Every structure is written in C-alpha cells, then in structure tokens.
C-alpha cells in the first residue's frame, strides 16, 4: 500500500545508544509494543513536541523531565496514547518512568516517556512495568530496525534511514526512525521520530539543528490535517565519534552534520506520507513566487488538505480547477492573472486560466503517475515553500472507520 | 442518501418574481440547466459572494453590475462554473448578460449572472444564449420548485423552504432555494442560494438582514472545508406585500420579517449538509463556554473538518478521543481540565478525561443515530457558536473521484 520507494537502507548503529524491545501486551497480545532507548552518559538530547493543547500525559511529563535532568532512557509504548486521560494518565506515565529508573539506577526525571495509539483509554501501566526487565535484557546497539517495527501502529511499513558524512577525516553517522500514518499534520514534530548521531553537539546547537531540520521535514508533511496529541521528535547526539564538540553553528563540521541530520529527517518524514493511511500517490506541493514563505506554506497546505484535490489525485483525474479553488481560499491575497500551475512538466494553468496547448491526455498521463509534483507559481515575489502529502482514497475511510474495531 | 427530513414544504410564490427554466445543454443534453429570475421594478436586492480569490468570472461581473444598477434579472446556469477561465470567461459571462438584456429591454448591468459546475472549462455561452428565449417563454410565479430542481448539480434532493409571518394584519411570505453538496465551506455564502420576500425593504436594511442571516446559516455549514469559487447568496425584497417599506432595523416589522428570512436561510443551508456528498449523518457541533464566539467557531470548525472525527461518525464509532484531539489543535488556548464533551445527552468527557459512569454501550447507542449533536463546553467564558456538518464516507470519495467521468 505504501507509495513508491519505501525500502530501508541498512540502519547503522550509533555508538552510545542501545535499544531494547519487549512484548508488554499494552493493547494486543503477542506484539512488540515496548521500546527502550538507553543513552550513554554525556549524550545531549533535544525534543520538539506537539502544539496540540490536548497533548498527552507523557508529553506533559517529558517536558517537565527535560527541564530537570539530562535524559538517559527513552521509554516508548504503542497501543495506547495516554491522551485525554486527566490526572490519572500523568500518574501512570510517571509510574512507568519511576519503575525504569529503579531498574537502571537513574531518576525518573532522566527518563523521557512516549506513548502512541488510541486516545482516551487508561494506560495499562502495570503491564508496561512488567515488560521493562524484558526490554532491558535485550538492549543492543543493532536494534534500530527492530525498533522501527516495534513503534508502528497503523503503519504498514517500518520507517528509518541512515546517512554517513566524512569531514576532515572524521566519519559521522546519523540514524533515525519514525512512525505515523494517520492523524498527521505535525506541528513541531510528527507522531514519533527518533534520530541519533555519534557527533558531539552542544545542547543549544542540537536544539537549533532539530528545530531547523523539523521545520523542513516533519513540519512539512500532512496526511489528513489532524495534528496528533502525542507528536514528538527527538534528536540525540552521543559524542562517541570521538571528536571535538560542535558548539556553534559556525563550527567547521556543523554544516555537514546538519545536512546529514536534515537528510535523515526528510526521508523518515516523507516515509510517513508514503505510508499515509490509504495512500496511493505521493504528492509534492511546491509553491514559488510568493511574497513570503508563510504565504507559500498557506497555499501549499490548502492544496494538500483539500479533500477535493486529494480525491481527484486518487482518481487520476486532472481536475485542476480544484487545485485553483484551493489556492484561492488559502487566505492569501493574489491576482488570478499571475498564477501558473504545472503538474510535473505539464503546464496546465497559465495566468489563471487554461494553458495554451494543454490537453486532457497530457493531464491524464501525468495524473496516472504514483509520484507527482504540483508546481504553483504565485507570480508575486521570490519566496517558496514545499509540503508533502498523499491522496484520499476509499482505503483512508475504511482504515479510520475500522481502526478501533 | 440525504440525511433525515429533507422533505420540502410547498414553496410559496413571491409576488413580483417570476422564474423561467430551459434546457440549454450547458454540459449534458436533456437537462434543465438554465434558470432566469425576473424581478419586478422597485425590487431591492442584496448579494453576498465567495471570498475565494479565484472567484469565478460571473461573480466578478455580478459585483460590478451591483454597483451600477438595480437588478431586474438573475441568470443562472449549472454544468459549468466559468471559474479559472481568465479574460475569456468574463467576456462570455458578459455576452450572456447582454443577450438577456436585449431580449428584455434592459441593460446588461441589470442582469446578475450565476454559474455552477465544473471549474476551468470554457462556458458554452452560445448555447446559453440560444436557451434564453425558451426560459423567458415560461416565466411563472409558481416555478420555485422547478427552479430548486434546475439549479442542482451533484445534489440528490432539491432544497427550498417557505415561511409566512403575519404582523399588524400584514402577511409576509419568504421563499428560498439553494444548491450545493460538495466544495462546501461557504465563506459569506454557499454555492448558490436565492431567497425572496414580498416585504418592501430598503437596500441597506436588506444587506444587513442578508449579512446577519447568512452568518448563522450558510456561514455555519461545512461538508469538506473547500470554499467554492462560485458561492453567492442573494436576497430579494419585491415590496408586493403592499405595506410600508422596512427602512431601519428598528422598524416594527423588522424583527418578524428578519426571523422568517433567517429561518428560511437556516433550513436551506442545513439541507445542503443533509445532502452533503456521501453524508449518512447530520452533525451539529455546538461549542459553549468560550471566551469569544470566534474561539468557539474555531473549535467547532476544527471538529467539523477533522477527517478522523468524520470517519468515526460514519463508522458509528464513539472514538471521542478524536474529538478532543481536534479541540486541542483548533488554535485556541485551553485548560484540558475544564473541558466537557457530550454526544446528545451522553456525557463522554469530563474535565478533559473519561466521564464517570460512561460506557461504550452508551456511546455506541448515540453514535448510531442519524442526527447527533456534539456539545463541547470549553469551561472558560460565556460565548458560544454552532456549526453543521456531516460524516465522511466511502461515498464521498466515490462521488469526488468520479465526478468528472
């Protein structure tokens, strides 16, 4: 079901990070649903979290913990989001952190909790606590692919990527995994993303890298426009590449390491769209010629969220008027006569009307492709922005009408 | 397919308005697709139009005409929206107005043009012009029901309503018709709405009545969140009830006439949602306890637009966590612990968590109803707002994947 190339490269281990996995029967039996990341001493960690006001209990707790200690463990469960669960939800999230702390001789504040799954149900914290020793028993540097599997919910494929970059004789490795297929319109981060590098990076620099790379990856994808209660993206730098700390954005290694991180972020964010619920097409919406990048993003999101545009792509119908209608209601002042639109290399709209020489056959041919870029030129200025999305199919309705049953 | 009570009352004629209908073969043969309203001399007319920047050629022309003359004819075609058609589209819209003007001894500026249908295709203005004499030949006061049929596109039922109110011995009649089923998130008006009364109403008062009644009717419905390029709502006052002109909002007849107009507007707006593409449920989203009505509207629209909420309603699945998630990303600051949510009379969420005593059986029972009200209390202030929507079904995808084929 996932669209196009969703093959994973070999996920490279990151020195200083071990991952353990267990079956804790959070929602279903016989499913790997508990994942523990153990970080080496000295690792730096940055996290961006959802802007949803109904953010889940673990998200609230994670924010507190980040203020008080340097993380040593990440504790992730699937099957239950522990969201809209009130005070009880916070107590249960804390109980799982305390249990892991006592097993590992750390403090609860050194544990970051993450939950994903159904909203509004009580977290079975006892079963998670029971599963922790099993997860700790198989901690291994080479468990990234297994972790990509164990954090899946409605995902149909595991999502991960690795890159290496060598600069001045030092080779840095970056590996990341993500999960998410529905309730996807990240707002600071996607459902769950974990990215790590063996570079040594100062905390404030790491936060900058995370913010910038998320802005152009997880914050530029949308499946259904629903921002999750549990979105978190975490970036860890272990420092095990044994070189000097990258302590500013002008450090000679900054650009290369940032590029590798951004590349991994973009790949694992796009994989979420490729695996979007019911997706049969991967659509890039590229808007140029705007007065501001914010205007371009508004237009791109209006197009990417329009159910009429998305169903037309599902049907491979070059019903480009729906694209223009969405451009028109994006909330951006525009002059119809300066707007041009192409699908891949086929110009369909010129100066707000039908392009000279355009034929329905050309449109139908490009719409039948599994990967399509919508180019929209507003003809106003120099700004641009790009958003990634998928089509809207029967399957989307089926998955979300059936999810809890 | 339409949900609940969509039966029309007898549509009462409005003295001073005659309607003629013809088959002009705009898009398909043998279909009544051309409608002409003839207004008596002295009738006042108010129009609100779409805020879509890609507003159609007839909308642009209609705005110009309203500035220059008092309308005597409305000219409506289905089958082609004449949107995203550039300069040629404007020339063609004007040509149809000029043709009607020459047949009726009026000027083109006294004609208001309306088009609805597929976007981005050339308006077959010649065929419309050929059809005009046929439409003029059957002008009749009693053609409202026939007009409700002839303005339909993907609608499955005709939409109209009439009300009468008697005050100080004067009986006023209000009749309205509308069309629309998809690309519905009106922003000043729906796809097409025509409402008329035999009251005499001064132009500025009529505009106030239109603005206020549209705000609580057409501007509070959404099917798919797509604002059309062609939305127009028109209110006409013929003055044929033969009583004094309502020339201010303090006129003794104002409130009664306004109430009848607002009631017709709300009914014909709600009929659009009941006939929403693929709709199987009619959903009222009522938000109370906000600091401002704007906050309440934001929350109501976030819930009403969420594909996850809409598919859960289609599935009759009381997956209320999705409602809370949408409340959370509506862009309104809130304290989870003050939020309560009920479905009809079933309290599902109290203080941001599961309500005491709530059972899935209760939730499933209420979700199986064809008409459901979601009550959301933000627990912040005294403001409120209400939005009407429908669920998201396989049928929605099917209709919009097949529409042009």
Q: Chain A contact for B333, CB < 8 A? A: yes
Chain A residues whose CB is inside 8 A of the B405 CB are 315, 317
Contact A84 B326 (CB under 8 A): no
- What average pLDDT does this structure show over A365-393? 93
Start-to-end CA distance of chain B, whole Å, equals 21
Catalytic, out of A190, A197, A222, A284:
A190
Contact A311 B51 (CB under 8 A): no
CATH of segment(s) A17-275? 3.60.70.12
* CA nearest to B304, candidates B329, B288, B331, B284: B284
Question: Hey, what are A392's tokens?
Answer: 């809207």
Tell me the pLDDT of chain B averaged across its residues: 88
Q: Chain A contact for B305, CB < 8 A? A: yes
CA distance B311 to A224: 11
Q: How far is CA B349 from CA A29, A301, B255, B380, in A?
A: 28, 31, 39, 16
Name which of A55, A276, A325, A404 to mutate to probe chain B: the one with the most chain B Cβ atoms within 10 A of its Cβ: A325
CA distance A323 to A273: 19
- What average pLDDT does this structure show over B96-112? 97
CA distance B108 to B72: 10
Q: Chain A contact for B394, CB < 8 A? A: yes
Chain A residues whose CB is inside 8 A of the B119 CB are 319, 321-322, 324-325
In chain A, residues under CATH classification 3.10.20.340 are: 282-402
Binned at pLDDT 50, 70 and 90, residue A191 comes out as low
Contact B53 A328 (CB under 8 A): yes
User: Does B121 have pLDDT greater than 90?
Assistant: no
Tokens 């998809």 -> residue: B182
- Point out the least confidently predicted range of A126-140, A335-349, B177-191: B177-191
Instruction: Considering only CA atoms, give the Rg of chain B.
Output: 22
Q: Chain A contact for B360, CB < 8 A? A: no
Catalytic, out of B44, B45, B96, B190:
B190
Q: Is the ipTM of this complex over 0.90?
A: no
Q: Chain B contact for A84, CB < 8 A? A: yes
In chain A, residues under CATH classification 3.60.70.12 are: 17-275
Query: Domain B282-402, what fold?
Result: Ubiquitin-like (UB roll) (3.10.20)
| Residue A190 known to bind ligand | yes
| Inter-helix orientation angle B321-328/B307-314, to 10° | 160
Residue A178: per-residue pLDDT: 87
The neighbour count for residue A180, using CB atoms within 10 Å, is 33
Residue A190: per-residue pLDDT: 42
B190 labelled catalytic: yes
* CA nearest to B373, candidates B289, B307, B281: B281
- What average pLDDT does this structure show over B79-95? 92
* CA nearest to A8, candidates A144, A111, A206: A144
Tokens 């249960």 -> residue: A92
Contact A84 B333 (CB under 8 A): no
Whether this model's pTM surpasses 0.95: no
Question: Hey, what are A271's tokens?
Answer: 């994989």
Contact B308 A120 (CB under 8 A): no
Residue A112: per-residue pLDDT: 95
Chain A residues whose CB is inside 8 A of the B326 CB are 226
Strand ranges (E), B34-149: 34-39, 44-49, 73-80, 111-118
The neighbour count for residue A174, using CB atoms within 10 Å, is 27
């Amino acid at each position: 079901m996932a669209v196009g190339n969703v093959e994973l490269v070999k996920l490279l281990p990151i020195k200083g990070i071990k991952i353990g996995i267990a079956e804790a029967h959070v929602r279903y039996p016989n499913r790997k649903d508990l994942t523990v990341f153990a970080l080496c001493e000295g690792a730096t960690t940055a996290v961006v979290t959802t802007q949803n006001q109904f953010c889940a209990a673990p998200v609230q707790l994670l924010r507190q913990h980040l203020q008080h200690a340097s993380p040593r463990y990440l504790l992730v469960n699937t099957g239950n989001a522990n969201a809209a669960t009130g005070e009880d939800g916070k107590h249960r999230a804390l109980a799982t952190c305390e249990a892991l702390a006592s097993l590992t001789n750390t403090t609860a504040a050194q544990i970051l909790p993450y939950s994903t799954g159904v909203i509004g149900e009580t977290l079975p914290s006892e079963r998670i606590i029971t599963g922790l020793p099993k997860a700790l028993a198989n901690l291994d540097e080479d468990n990234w692919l297994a972790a990509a599997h164990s954090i899946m919910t409605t995902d149909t494929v595991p999502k991960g990527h690795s890159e290496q970059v060598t600069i001045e004789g030092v080779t840095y490795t970056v590996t990341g995994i993500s999960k998410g297929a529905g309730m996807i319109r990240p707002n600071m981060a996607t459902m769950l993303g974990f990215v790590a590098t063996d570079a040594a990076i100062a905390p404030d620099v790491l936060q900058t890298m995370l913010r910038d790379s998320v802005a152009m990856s997880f914050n530029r994808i949308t499946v259904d426009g629903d921002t999750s209660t549990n979105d978190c993206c975490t970036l860890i730098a272990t420092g095990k590449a044994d070189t000097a700390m990258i302590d500013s954005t002008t450090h000679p290694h900054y650009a290369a390491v940032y590029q590798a991180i951004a590349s991994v972020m973009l790949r694992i964010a796009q994989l979420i769209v490729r695996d979007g619920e019911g997706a049969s097409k991967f659509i890039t919406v590229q808007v140029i010629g705007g007065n501001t990048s914010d205007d371009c993003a508004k237009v791109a999101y209006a197009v990417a969220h329009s159910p009429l545009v998305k169903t037309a792509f599902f049907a491979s119908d070059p019903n480009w008027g729906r694209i223009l209608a969405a451009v028109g209601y994006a909330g951006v002042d525009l002059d119809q006569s300066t707007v041009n639109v192409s699908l891949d290399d086929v110009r369909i709209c010129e100066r707000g009307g039908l392009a000279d020489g355009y034929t329905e056959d050309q449109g139908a041919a490009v719409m039948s492709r599994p990967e399509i870029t919508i180019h929209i030129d507003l003809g106003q200025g120099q700004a641009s922005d790009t958003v990634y999305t998928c089509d809207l199919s029967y399957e989307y309705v089926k998955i979300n009408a059936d999810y809890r049953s």
